[in-house]
A and B are shown apart, each in its own frame.
Chain A
Amino acid sequence: MSKFTKELINDYADKLLIGLTKEETDTIFNEFEIIEANMDLINKIDGISDVEPQHYPFIIKSVPRNGDKIINENIEDILKNSGKVSDREIEVPKVVG
């Protein structure tokens, strides 16, 4: 029995702020069956639970920058691609929450 349900998919869709049609929900639900089957296969590999998650493809370390050098950029240039601009600021629909 799949751990994924259509209700769960719709709940996550809501949290991602995307709406799904009934057909889209069905498609994703069916795809999850395949994904789940593959995950089951992976989980059967010997010693898989002992493997540390690999977040980076190579073993590299950060070299932080010296924080002294200041580079402020011109807001007029930066805002050239913006939709609606008021004076020096981007205008967005009012969202208070």
Chain B
Amino acid sequence: MELIPVIGLEMHAEMKSNTKVFSPAKNSYNDISNLNVNKIDMAFPGILPLLNKECIEKAIEMALILKCDIPEIFMFDRKNYYYPDLPKGYQITQFNKPIGTNGVLTIDVDGIEKNIDILDIHLEEDSASLDHYSYFSLIDYNRAGVPLLETVTSPCMHSSKEAVAFLDTMKYIFRYTGISDADIKRGQIRCDVNVSMMEKDSKELGTKVEVKNVNNINNVEKTIEYEIKRQTELILNGKKDEIVQETRRYDEATETTITMRSKIDAIDYKYFVEPNIPPYEITSDLINDIKSRISILPNEKKLKYINELGLNIIDANNLIKNKDVSEYFDNLINLGCDIKSSVNWVLNQISDYTNSNNISINELYLTPDKLKFIIDQTILDKISSKQAKELFNKSLELQKDPKILIKELGMEQINDIDTIKDIIVNILDSNLDQIKLYKNGKTNMFDYFVGQVMKETKGKANPVLVKEILSSELDNK
């Protein structure tokens, strides 16, 4: 029996905004508990939510990017449940009229394009976070009221690889547009993962299991892999009935999923329209205005790199992964830097340096114009690639302009033919035995002489000129 995994995702992304979605408290990650707090988010009696225009517009922007149908009004609903992290006793979300429905996102899975159907995208508020101790819990309201965008896909994915490609694509879009920082380390991306197994050629879906609140993309991958294995084994061992519709959670320690509650215990959220926030009209003018502000998206940029700059798909994919890296590369190209060299420098030396020093490319001392100087020196054969790397490292170490440093380090290449010729003649005059060996057929002595010239000039002689002059001088001997 051949089984096919069927996967659907609910992706929650914390939005980037100055203030929270329903209160003027600051929206930013903070290690100090209860710093970004306001009575509205803590549900003091008599409070009313104050809708944030920035969040509305960013939610519409994402719905447009996902090619969703957008309703004429923006309205909210209440999702009722009781838990200490939810001070109001309900979450303000969108249930009846999400900001986007029937969308699509094209993803790239190992070079093959696939369309992911988006059922809906909606704006809601995050809950507070709980710090658990042995006998009690403490509530941190910094996260309460942080705007969340939830994107719900149809069950159209069939492998963990597709799910990861979808999440990565969404992550890049969030970062490029500034809708979310999508910072995994800060828990800004969380997913509910729905997995079932379907018999090949069957039209009937298997029993769905939902794994709640998986907190990073690696764990989503592990969750799916584990559920596929667990459900497949049960089906193949004749225990299909043991797969029940239930909610599970991912346990990082054991890399397994654990039952939380069955469908019988499912919470009835008693959704109803949020009466404290009247509808907000979404006019065509507003939509056109937001459309005009959408910046270039990662996929568009990738196509530009491949079609206009002639990059291969691997380099293009690596460059678009990080908006700042991609913009740095764009700046190099706009300055007229050699394309191939720019790709190599950005994806190798710069990437290695920023990763090992844990800094962003925007913090790098070598701005694109400074790096262009180094690249140009190698293109013009003024310095060797080894010298270029040394100049790069010294410039970062000393925080000194490579234009000044190249002189201070005496790196300027010797291109004067007479100077190089004098050095070569001197070296040949003091190596008569080696010339004999060369003349008697030991051709690798040529490299020995090149090495001597480089040693004499401390690597500064232009290697192309050295080889030309040396060859000519040896012929005359």
Q: Which residue numbers of A lie inside 8 Å of B, CB to CB? A: 12, 15, 17, 53, 55-56, 60-62, 64-73, 75, 78, 86-97
Determine the chain A residues whose CB is within 8 A of the CB of B267 once the complex forms: 15
**Distance of A7 from chain B, by nearest CB (Å):** 14
Closest 9 CB pairs of A and B: A89-B138, A67-B54, A67-B52, A64-B53, A62-B280, A71-B24, A55-B273, A75-B34, A64-B51
Asked whether B25 is an interface residue with its Cβ less than 8 Å from the other chain, the reply is yes
Q: Which chain A residue has the least Cβ–Cβ distance from B17?
A: A67
Is B52 in contact with A64, judged by CB distance below 8 angstroms?
Answer: yes
Q: Which chain B residue has the least Cβ–Cβ distance from A55?
A: B273
Is B279 in contact with A61, judged by CB distance below 8 angstroms?
Answer: yes
A73-B37, A90-B138 known; A62+B18 contact, CB < 8 A = no
Asked whether B367 is an interface residue with its Cβ less than 8 Å from the other chain, the reply is no
Residues 119-158 of B contacting A (Cβ, < 8 Å) = 130-140
Partner of A70, one of B24, B134, B281: B24
Complex: how many Å from CA A60 to CA B44? 25
Determine the chain B residues whose CB is within 8 A of the CB of A72 once the complex forms: 25-26, 35-38
Determine the chain B residues whose CB is within 8 A of the CB of A87 once the complex forms: 33
Determine the chain A residues whose CB is within 8 A of the CB of B53 once the complex forms: 64-67
**Distance of B473 from chain A, by nearest CB (Å):** 73
Partner of A92, one of B54, B139, B260: B139
Complex: how many Å from CA A69 to CA B136? 35
Which interface class (under 10, 10 to 19, 20 to 34, 35 or more) fits B? 35 or more
Is B33 in contact with A89, judged by CB distance below 8 angstroms?
Answer: yes
Is B132 in contact with A70, judged by CB distance below 8 angstroms?
Answer: no
A62-B277, A69-B19 known; A89+B52 contact, CB < 8 A = no
Complex: how many Å from CA A15 to CA B265? 9
Q: Which residue numbers of B lie inside 8 Å of A, CB to CB? A: 17-19, 23-26, 32-39, 42, 44, 50-56, 74, 82-84, 130-140, 260, 267-268, 273, 275, 277-281
Is A67 in contact with B18, judged by CB distance below 8 angstroms?
Answer: yes
Determine the chain B residues whose CB is within 8 A of the CB of A12 once the complex forms: 268
A53-B273, A55-B275, A67-B55 known; A92+B137 contact, CB < 8 A = yes
Determine the chain B residues whose CB is within 8 A of the CB of A71 once the complex forms: 19, 23-25, 38
A55-B273, A62-B51 known; A70+B17 contact, CB < 8 A = no
What would be 22 A-B contacts, judged by CB atoms less than 8 Å apart?
A55-B273, A55-B275, A56-B278, A61-B279, A62-B280, A66-B54, A67-B53, A67-B54, A68-B18, A68-B54, A69-B19, A71-B19, A72-B25, A75-B35, A78-B44, A88-B34, A89-B131, A92-B84, A94-B135, A95-B83, A95-B137, A97-B83
Most buried by A among B138, B273, B277: B138
**Distance of B250 from chain A, by nearest CB (Å):** 15
Determine the chain A residues whose CB is within 8 A of the CB of B74 once the complex forms: 62
Q: Which chain A residue has the least Cβ–Cβ distance from B135?
A: A94
Is A93 in contact with B38, judged by CB distance below 8 angstroms?
Answer: no
Is B280 in contact with A68, judged by CB distance below 8 angstroms?
Answer: no
A55-B273, A70-B24 known; A62+B279 contact, CB < 8 A = yes
Is A67 in contact with B136, judged by CB distance below 8 angstroms?
Answer: no
A62-B278, A64-B56, A89-B131 known; A69+B268 contact, CB < 8 A = no
Complex: how many Å from CA A65 to CA B52? 5
Complex: how many Å from CA A74 to CA B273? 32
Q: Which chain B residue has the least Cβ–Cβ distance from A58?
A: B278
Determine the chain A residues whose CB is within 8 A of the CB of B281 once the complex forms: 61
Complex: how many Å from CA A66 to CA B50? 10
Determine the chain A residues whose CB is within 8 A of the CB of B136 once the complex forms: 86, 91-94
Partner of B38, one of A53, A64, A65, A73: A73
